[in-house]
Amino acid sequence: MTNDVTRGVQDNLFIGGRLRPAHSVTRIPVIDPATEQAFAAIPDADTVDVDDAVRAATSAFRDSGWAELDPAERAEYLRRLAELIESRGEELGRVVTAQNGMPLANSIAGNGAAAAGYYRYFAGLADELEPETERSGRGARTVVRQEPVGVAALIVPWNGPQGAIAWKLAPALAAGCTAVVKPAPETSLDSYILAELVSQAGIPPGVVNIITGGRETGATLVSHPGIRKVAFTGSTAAGRKVALACAEGFKRVTLELGGKSAALLLDDVDVSAFLPFVASACAPFSGQICRALTRVLAPRSRYDEVVDAIVSAMGDLTVGHPLDPATQLGPLVSERQRTRVEDYIRSGREQGAKVVLGGSRPPGFETGYYVEPTVFRDADNNMRIAREEIFGPVLTVIPFDDDDDAIRICNDSDYGLGGAIFTSDADRGFALARRVESGSVGVNHYALPLDAPFGGVKNSGIGRELGPEGLAAYLETKAIYHPPAA
């Protein structure tokens, strides 16, 4: 056993305010995707561990006084946690990069300052939260209470672990819920640091519990009768199972699932103004971001120009080791993920699209799960590369005839998570944005504001995170009514 959370075999889980040995003796290796070497292992929590964590969260919900605190007092804990996360941002970023291969600067920003920002944002909403409001009429006075839902299960994927946890844990804590967090097995080590910071912030024991493990652990947690709310981010296939399990137990559920979001470049677009979005919005973290704009819809009249510009922008991305500051595109998270991306590239070719950039493993990167930045042209919206989530650095450029055709292609998707419209005429872009079937759409912009609700329609999920809507997901409404005073 080691206390170094960045390497070695971890034997502990964070339950009831302390690290304690897991009941499970099974360990899951943690692999550095840049070296393909296992450098740590984490417990694969079993049913006893899950039950312990849910019991700890349940007794903290009932007995610690957390749920009854004034929301503004809970906000102070969130702000302390935010400070601590920010102060350890570099370390969090490094630990995440070692596990998922995200270029270091992005990882430090996403798992440090950005994660801290979410806790601060929800602290601000907690300050404004009025737990009780009064209504009168029809012969009664009613006190409407906003109460915390109860124990929340928070399950996240590997692509931005501390940000994804913060999207859930911050509103859960602000609302007065207690929580059991389950990070992805690929990226659990950073959550040992979170556990330490939760304790340092003085959050009462049992309010936050963190257990590690794979899909069985997640499924056991979701089905546990002590859980009243599930917030899940992950694949659509797993989300469907989570939804079914929640239906069985009538649990509140938020699902942030996959996407195949479109960038619509209208015929008046200034292509040079769009190009900076190729790295940041179309292929961020090698395309392993759910809202990445991986379908580019280009006007037929300017198709070659757009394809050439995208090829040039994707071709300029620097592939390298994720710890190298020059790197924009590191390895994919796992061998399984690389195999999946390579299968999609093969299927695109087989279905008649043309690879105009990349399509293979980059020369000189024989070790590590690297795939070249890849662009397909002459694709249509019925191909698998246009319909399914690839989760790799692969862009599919599809031509359209006019605005109506662009919207038809954009909405002809099983997914509806993000999307963006690029145009020289913002009003025209805004009008078209209203017609896009997705949870959020950018117009000449693709950085998500903290107060903008985020989530999907169709197979991209149910419910919203961030914004006041993100807090509401952890609140239950109760009416207490009584006769009016005589």
Q: Cα 53 vs. chain centroid, distance in angstroms?
A: 23
Is 410 a residue of the active site?
Answer: no
Question: Applying CB under 6 A, does 182 fall inside the site for ligand NAD?
Answer: yes
Question: Applying CB under 6 A, does 242 fall inside the site for ligand NAD?
Answer: yes
With a CB cutoff of 8 Å and minimum separation 6, the contacts of 324 are: none
The 3-state DSSP class for residue 197 equals helix
Question: Where in 120-149 is the site for ligand NAD (CB under 6 A)?
Answer: none
**Binding piece for ligand NAD, criterion CB under 6 A, among 154-162, 301-309, 322-330, 405-413:** 154-162
Nearest Cα neighbor of 375 from 278, 457, 310 is 310
Q: For residue 212, give Cα distances in angstroms to 130, 239, 242.
A: 35, 18, 17
Query: How near is the Cβ of 111 to ligand NAD at its closest, in Å?
Result: 14
When binding is defined by CB under 6 A, the residue of 46, 52, 256, 342 that contacts ligand NAD is 256
Nearest Cα neighbor of 473 from 464, 461, 482 is 464
Work out the number of other CB atoms within 10 angstroms of the CB of residue 129.
Answer: 20
Query: How near is the Cβ of 252 to ligand NAD at its closest, in Å?
Result: 15
Quick one: 445 exposed, middle or buried, by C-beta within 10 A (0-12, 13-18, 19+)? Answer: middle
Question: Where in 282-311 is the site for ligand NAD (CB under 6 A)?
Answer: 290
Sheet arrangement for strand 475-482: 132-137, 140-148, 475-482
Question: Applying CB under 6 A, does 448 fall inside the site for ligand NAD?
Answer: no
Q: Which residues pair with 132 in a beta bridge?
A: 145
**Binding piece for ligand NAD, criterion CB under 6 A, among 137-145, 251-259, 343-351, 363-371:** 251-259
How many residues bind ligand NAD (CB under 6 A)? The answer is: 29
Cβ closest to ligand NAD, residue 80 vs residue 182? 182
Q: For residue 240, give Cα distances in angstroms to 57, 219, 389.
A: 25, 12, 16
The 3-state DSSP class for residue 263 equals strand
Question: Where in 384-403 is the site for ligand NAD (CB under 6 A)?
Answer: 389, 391
Question: Where in 184-223 is the site for ligand NAD (CB under 6 A)?
Answer: 184-185, 214-215, 218-219, 222
Question: Applying CB under 6 A, does 249 fall inside the site for ligand NAD?
Answer: no
Cβ closest to ligand NAD, residue 157 vs residue 429? 157
Is 290 a residue of the active site?
Answer: yes
When binding is defined by CB under 6 A, the residue of 61, 77, 118, 158 that contacts ligand NAD is 158
**Separation CA 254–CA 272 (nearest Å):** 38
Q: Which residues bind ligand NAD (CB under 6 A)?
A: 155-159, 182, 184-185, 214-215, 218-219, 222, 233-235, 238, 241-242, 256-259, 290, 389, 391, 417, 456, 461
Q: Catalytic positions, please?
A: 256, 290
